[in-house]
Structure 1
Amino acid sequence: MKTGTLTLIPTPLSEVGELEPVAFKTLLEAATNDAENSVFVIEDLKPGRRRWLGFKLPRETIESFVQYNEHTAAEAAKDLLSKLQQGKNVFLMSDGGLPAFYDPGVELVNLCHQNKIRVTSTPFFNSISLSIALSGFSHRKFWFEGFLPIEATERQASIKNIMNLKTTSILMDTPYRLKRVLEEFQAAWGSSKKKLFVAMDLNTETEELRRGTPKELLDVINDFKREFVVIVSE
């Protein structure tokens, strides 16, 4: 059976803000033409319904909303995972901003990765925040390494530092260096229990999200010349 997809839907911070056009189109299509196969998840019922109606999305949909927050996440995540495994598509929204970025949605994203469920997002303007949200990794604290140095010795030192950190780390490099980055982490990996998450070509038709060890990623990624963000976590 084909599994469903978890889609993060970033929403305006202000209740009077307009929903991003692709997000609006995605939700409208799901609510009108694929309602039986779609599950809409919000943080809190009252503000979620108010926002939905403010976006001018179908009123009848608000009766089927699933509430997902710090109080309901433990049970709701299991139920949503089951629906995804049955082929339902789940659309996750917060009360404002990027879902799964420093909120309970991270638990659902993590479950999806663990169970080979596809995760994606409608457009978001910041690749770092979006990559963190899509990774499913814990990020109560994180270190932003930025672009790795060009010089080999400095690169090795940066990677060694990242491997020694207890917090989640985020790094970037130029598109043609993705394979080199993974190979450098493989050389420094040893018996580490950490995992890598690579977000490639975010918000494009060729978007690809992968989690695993450096060797596992080197084995499954076919195209290494692409925009990417790498996240390293326990």
Structure 2
Amino acid sequence: MNIQQSFRNAGNTGTLYLVATPIGNLEDITYRAVRVLKEADWIAAEDTRQTRKLLSHLEISNRLVSYHEHNKEASGAELIRRMEAGESVALVSDAGLPAISDPGYDLVRAAVEHSIPVVPIPGANAALSALIISGLPTDKFVFVGFLPRDKKGMAKELSLWKDVQATVIFYESPHRIVKTLKEIREAWGNREVALVRELTKKYEEVVRGRLDDCLQHLDEVEPLGEYCIVVGAGEAEADDREAWWQELTLEDHVEFYIRQGEDRKQAIKRAAQDRGVPKREVYNQLL
């Protein structure tokens, strides 16, 4: 068991700060992020050239070191050694939150294993920014990130998320966006989708519609910029909806949702939706 109390660190180790950086608009960095970057003993960056531009804009000249997929073992071990010696490290990615679709996870894991405090410095994130402007449901969502490049791997990954009753978010590059959308269309059908690109930049754009609509749009307009693909959930088949609860009593059906963390009112509503009856009918039967 590992219990961290971020602001009551009485140990002799340093701290690993996960610092969010702008995803486009430089105004999106927080006051706290700037302070931590100025105070950290080391700034570990996925791409030091990209990060140096940001630091120059912010007039920060702290020591900058490289930490990326190809040197994470050697660089990570050195950063852990320095934090164990009491020095602090601010980890940044090229844009957005570190440890999301980049090797920052490995450094976080190593820090936890060495009882080094890990503190988030929140800020901009492309996936969540795309989700909230997509117009698709935000109550439940899954972030998948980049799909595998090969067709077989992509098909296998898509099959894992086909039936999830949640909005699904992917990242994709402009030169692969059409291929990826075609694969999603083939695997999942013509679902609702939002293509979000150039977030927070001058040419920010959201294309909303069905997958076929978006593919037609990209056939007419050249894909440019990094994309977030936000895909709506598919319609659950009636037989699938019934399969898991049909042997339950009404009381047990409602209790199931309560155990999942729903309050009683919401549990009754969901049970009623499963059974295709008014929630008032369920409520009355439970009196």
> How high is the TM-score relative to the length of structure 2?
0.41
Q: Greater relative contact order (Cα 8 A, min sep 6): structure 1 or 2?
A: 1
Instruction: Report the TM-score, using the length of structure 1 for normalisation.
Output: 0.50
